[in-house]
Amino acid sequence: MTTAPQRLKQIKHQHRVQLFAFLGIIFFIFYMLMWVDNMLLSTVLAFVLFYSFGPFVNAFERRGLNRVLGISLLFAVSSLFFIFAVTSIYPLVSSQASALKSEIPKYINGTTDLILKTESQLAIFSELFQDINIIGQTEKYLYNWTQSLFEDLPNFLSHSLTVTLLAPFFAFFMLKDGPALSRRLFNMVPNNLFELSINLKHQINSQLGSFIRARLLESVLVGALVWVGLWLIGFKFATVLAIFAALANLIPYIGPIVGAAPALIIALINGEGPMGVTLVLTPYLIAQIIDIFFIIPLVVAKIVNLHPVTIIISFIIGADLLGVLGMVIAIPAASVIKVTIANVYEHLVEFRS
């Protein structure tokens, strides 16, 4: 017959086994994401699709529609819309991209000339700038970057194709089997951590879902406003520049500057006067005013609830570890870490009291 102390010892041993198994699975997933090619980007995009489609799938299911059928309908409609959008804008984007590629040497030379003028003007005011070879380093960097951009394009397209196939595949099964897999995973969590884990799951899902949907809306609005503005003034490469601005806007802080830089450089190299440069920058300015004063305060800031210093530190760490992708996911990752630490701390305080 098992005594009470032996039973308690068995329960503690079982809890430890469950905890180590749970942590082992988490570590394995983290290893796969960080060290397998295309896995992290594919998973990030799969989560974007998961949180974008999730509310619709749940709404369909509440109305009595089979979950798999609802997911299939969403993917079918989204695929048709994506194909229609790509086939509609691809000829325009392709022609603009080809024209931009043919004029890149012109813009590189123009940029280096602008930097050379700036360097000479700085040298007049201070001897500190006389020994700094800004122009040589910049020209070398620009040529190397543009050359690698077009030479590595086939490799980039190959990776993009892999990601394009993997991300929807992951998202489909996350939507279909996510609840069941989640229950199985949480069954491995010890009883004393079960409530903490469930609360964490709900809070993280709520924050990530709201944040991703808000950022996507923000990016689309910025891209649309930039495109309309550049199109109205008849600016070259309006569609390509608008798409670039929308994607760059996903990067915190420096994204809007990076997104506007190509249009500004093109305008300056083409000899646009102050009025022309102002017209080119106006769509970007309007988009950022709407973004900063309406979208971010009303939607994004309330979701993450992070201190600006925390956001900056997270941004720097993300950029150092994962480059551009790290910049994009820095804020949601910091938000998840903050929620986890806050809940674990609260759990420990309650456990001790």
| Tens digit of each residue's pLDDT (9 = 90 or more) over 110-125 | 777 776 666 666 555 5
Q: How many residues does the chain have?
A: 353
pTM over 0.85: no
DSSP structure class, residue 228: H
Alpha-carbon distance of 292 to 51, in angstroms, equals 24
Q: Which residues contact 171 (CB under 8 A, 6 or more apart)?
A: 45, 46, 47, 49, 50, 53
DSSP-assigned letters across all residues of 89-109: HHHHHHHHHHHHHHHHHHHHH
- For residue 311, the one-letter residue type is I
pLDDT score for 4: 61
pLDDT lower than 50: segments of the chain: 129, 150-154, 156-158
User: Three-class SS of residue 237?
Assistant: coil
pLDDT score for 5: 66
pLDDT score for 227: 92
DSSP structure class, residue 300: I
pLDDT score for 12: 63
Q: Which one, of 11, 67, 318, lies nearest residue 2 by Cα?
A: 11
Alpha-carbon distance of 146 to 265, in angstroms, equals 15
41 and 208 in contact (C-beta within 8 Å)? no
266 and 237 in contact (C-beta within 8 Å)? yes
Residue pLDDT, tens place only, 197-256: 788 888 888 888 888 888 888 888 889 999 999 999 888 888 889 988 998 888 877 788
Alpha-carbon distance of 338 to 239, in angstroms, equals 38
Q: Within the chain, where are the H helices? A: 4-35, 39-62, 67-125, 134-151, 153-187, 191-232, 238-248, 255-269, 274-290, 301-304, 308-352
Residue 40 half-sphere exposure toward CB, CA atoms < 13 A: 15
167 and 45 in contact (C-beta within 8 Å)? yes
315 and 327 in contact (C-beta within 8 Å)? yes
